[in-house]
A and B are shown apart, each in its own frame.
Chain A
Amino acid sequence: MLKRLMVVVLVLTLLSNLLLGCSKKENSEKVLVIGFDRDAEIMDTIKTAWYSDALIYIHDRLITRDYEFGYKPGLAERWDVSEDGLTWTFHLRKGVKFHDGKEFTAEDVKWTIDTIKDPDTGSPFRADLDAIKEVNVIDKHTVEMVLNYPFPNLLYNLSGTAAGIHPANAYKKYGEDYGKKIVIGTGPYKLKEWVPGDRTVLVKNEEYNWGPEWMSNRGPALIDKIVLKIIPDENTRIMELEVGGIHILRNVPETFVEKLENNQDVTVYKEPATKLGYLAYATDKEPFTDVRVRRAINHALNREEIIQFVLKGIGEVAYGYLPPALKDEYLEESKDLAYEYNPEKAKQLLAEAGYPNGLELTLSADNSSKSTKLAEIIQHQLKEVGINTKIQLYDSAGYTDMLREGKQELFIREYSWSNADIIDWFLLSERFPYPNHSRWVDEKTDELITYAARRPTWEERAEAYKEVQRYLIDQAVWAPIYIPMQMIAVRKEVKNFKYHPWMLQYNDGFDIEVK
């Protein structure tokens, strides 16, 4: 009996400890909680392609992008490009300090770029910096990059998350823990704790006063702490937002928009995303070698209907190969050049190509519910013009593998990228067979793309990419379908929310109401 009593007492003390432990109220600290569906594997911009959003705030970059998507100074106060476009000189901001107290200098820029470019590092970002021949330290606050060929896109590559500046010799100094327990940058937030698969906790950098000039708040952030919380289940994420367990949710699925819009506590921001959903085909295989078949497929798709059915009407029709959000490079006349919905014309083109009785093909997709729906409606629409398809679904790792091996006929893809160089990725013949999954090996395309990518100035480059798009539309290399919306749900406790097309700037005056 005594023994039993002791067990009961023990259990009760344990329980009460745990319960009390959680009820301890934190002092009125301003905490912002953001929900994510999955976590990064490594907390290091250099070593992975799947960045945690935390890295946006831990690091600063040489170049930033303002709310209008323009390129503006970041850690580099200004930069000059030589007339031939081959030498870029960056003048660095003074008085900037890393989270470990070290002063930010030209050496740190050199180390970061050199480490990415070192083949032994195995950085997925390496190919993006192929244009850089060498990085030279001119003085403590000046750094020079010498290029192999003119490459205006360096602006883009140096402003992305992957280009976050690390302190020189970080790997040597912090060893194995770097990218796991420790990450050092100069950004407005410091890494406090990372529990993989569960949460990342960031605390504000009190010393921060080097915010880019386009920000209204260039000093320390107003929010003390940011928690990035991983919630894998979609329904659970939405419920957490509704009860206030998280304040901001990015990538709201179309199916939940109506529900959240009816919620007084939540605002949903919608902007056209830099994404593009398309139907592609193995252009080196019969019958897709014939441009008439490719055009017929383009004519067979009723894109408005697809957007209604798959995206609940939240999205825009895609006419070209780039999303309109890329203002400089987007081809305005895409709509007039593109192939309108016209099943009769599709049938006629198929007949001309020698398939009057239609075709039997497979249509591959990944097994997400969105792609499955998309595959079903495309199957239905293609059937209308006599193309019968069999749908084949893969899990995401299996899908890329299948494309790499070249087993595809018709297949569905969506890309997410905010630069015109995505065209190089997918359609240059040197990228065959992967990522050139539509197996498009074409001399003229290579010529046009290479010409565009190596223009000395950003403006000339943008013009040249328009020419690439005209040609791709004419050749019907893909069948572009939709541009989805970027949707961010924000709770009413968050004050001064400002939408940013690329990276939300939580340190730029964002505030939060503490209950």
Chain B
Amino acid sequence: MLKYIIKRIILMIPVIIIMTLIVFSIFYFAPGDPVSRIAGPNVTPEVYESIMKKYGLDQPFVVQYFRYIKSVVEGDLGVSILQDRPVIEMIRERLPVTLQIGLLGFIITFIIAIPAGVIAAVKKNTIVDYLCMSGSLLGIAIPTFWLGMLLLYVFAYKLRWFPISGYGTIKHLILPSFAIGLTNAAITARMVRSSMLEVLKQDYVRTARSKGLSEKTVVYRHALKNALIPIITLMGLRLGWIIGGSVALEIIFSIPGIGRLMVDAILARDYPVVQGAMIVLTSSIILANILADILYTVVDPRIRYG
């Protein structure tokens, strides 16, 4: 088990290197540079040159890239060109904000998706099943940002139950978390349903029933536990999606999270920030997947890694 985890962590390195190369190439070859943002749109050529030089932006691609990789290996994610602050410090400020929304979104996903999926599976082909599944179809079809705008309009602007923008209290987190949680729950509920249907057909479920156990015990103690295994993989993979979805939400709800940090940095061509944030995000997505693998062995002791 330990050997497996170490192997997976070592495998992260090439993934991250390839990712940095891709991001770096995009930034290098895309038009635009951070200078006009620092010095204003009407910058004179001499100031322009001096700023390009100061940050080594006048160097060829290979030199710039290897200089960057070298500093990353040394544990330094560099300094933001625009804010003149260590990138790691900026990520440390912003990441927890996004994680809070993501975590709350995850909890909402589970609270909605598991009961909905289980009920739909148990009451298969009844009106309850159809209602749950058409609701989930709707959830899949609605983009997260649009749901966010809708929630904002109804609950914050019209009803005024929640603040419209900002960050600081749990009230600020609820609407964006719901926007993430609801769309995510839609997909998860379908997975739970089909996985449950699969499990309910198994022999051990029939055995449990024939033992005379109540239907509730059969469904929740025997069936659900096994049905959750594929859901765990799905959740690991959804982490990246949640962070991607929160970019739009952070703009709509004015939340200073890592998504907005990245968007601002991309528009301003502040590449050390984008690179740093991408490295942190890529690593956390890979780590989440490793965690999902470990959780497997907890849920299903038959699974072993070697």
Mark A residues whose CB is within 8 Å of B.
15, 18-19, 21-22, 38, 41-42, 47-50, 119, 122, 124, 126-127, 179-180, 195-199, 229-233, 235-236, 239-240, 242-243, 245, 394-402, 425-426, 431, 434-435
Contacts and interface: CB of A to CB of B under 8 A. Distances in A.
Given A22-B170, A401-B31, A431-B44, 18 more contacts: A22-B168, A22-B171, A41-B37, A41-B82, A49-B40, A124-B39, A180-B83, A197-B260, A198-B167, A231-B254, A243-B160, A245-B163, A395-B267, A397-B33, A397-B37, A400-B36, A434-B48, A435-B43
B39 A397 contact: no
B204 interface: no
B88 to A, nearest CB: 15
Contacts of B135: none
A131 to B, nearest CB: 15
B187 interface: no
Q: Count chain B CB atoms within 10 A of each CB in A15, A42, A397, A398 and give the residue with the most.
A: A397
Nearest to B84: A42
A239 B164 contact: yes
A435 B39 CA distance: 12
A43 B166 CA distance: 21
B168 A232 contact: no
B54 A398 contact: no
B299 interface: no
13 contacts: A126-B47, A127-B44, A127-B46, A127-B47, A229-B254, A230-B254, A232-B254, A242-B157, A245-B165, A397-B36, A401-B33, A425-B42, A435-B41
Nearest to A43: B83
A440 B20 CA distance: 41
A396 B82 contact: no
B171 A435 contact: no
Contact of A239 (B157, B170, B267): B157
The listed residue with most A CB atoms (<10 A of its CB), out of B149, B168, B261, is B168
B256 A233 contact: no
Contacts of A119: 50
B41 A400 contact: yes
A180 B252 CA distance: 26
B129 to A, nearest CB: 29
Interface in B44-76: 44-48, 50-51, 54
Contacts of A19: 169-171
Contact of B251 (A179, A232, A239, A242): A232
A443 B254 CA distance: 50
Interface residues of B, number: 55
A402 B31 contact: yes
A12 B198 CA distance: 36
Contacts of B170: 15, 18-19, 22
Nearest to A241: B164
Contacts of B152: 236, 239
B85 interface: yes
Nearest to B43: A124
B51 A235 contact: no
A242 B164 CA distance: 10
Contacts of A42: 82-84
Contacts of B261: 197
B254 A233 contact: yes
A229 B43 contact: no
Interface string B149-164: 1001100110010011
A175 B32 CA distance: 31
A29 to B, nearest CB: 17
B287 to A, nearest CB: 24
B267 A240 contact: no
Nearest to B30: A398
Contacts of A243: 156-157, 160, 164
B252 A233 contact: yes
Contacts of B153: 239
Nearest to B32: A397
Contacts of A229: 165-166, 254
B35 to A, nearest CB: 9
Nearest to A433: B45
B86 to A, nearest CB: 10
Contacts of B178: none
B254 A180 contact: no
> Which of B30, B41, B45, B54 lies at the interface centre, i.e. has the most chain A CB atoms within 10 A of its CB?
B41
Contacts of A195: 256
B223 to A, nearest CB: 20
Given A126-B47, A425-B42, A41 B83 contact: yes
Contacts of B160: 243
B85 A180 contact: yes
A425 B168 CA distance: 44
Interface centre among A15, A232, A239, A434 (most CB of B within 10 A): A232
5 nearest A-B residue pairs (beta carbon): A397-B32, A49-B40, A22-B169, A124-B39, A398-B31
A355 B50 CA distance: 44
Contact of B267 (A50, A242, A397): A397
Nearest to A426: B42
A501 B164 CA distance: 30
A124 B31 contact: no
B38 A48 contact: yes
B190 interface: no
B264 interface: yes
A294 to B, nearest CB: 22
Contacts of B45: 434
Contacts of A47: 84
B193 interface: no
A117 to B, nearest CB: 13
A50 B168 contact: no
Contacts of B30: 398
Nearest to A198: B256
A41 B37 CA distance: 9
A32 to B, nearest CB: 16
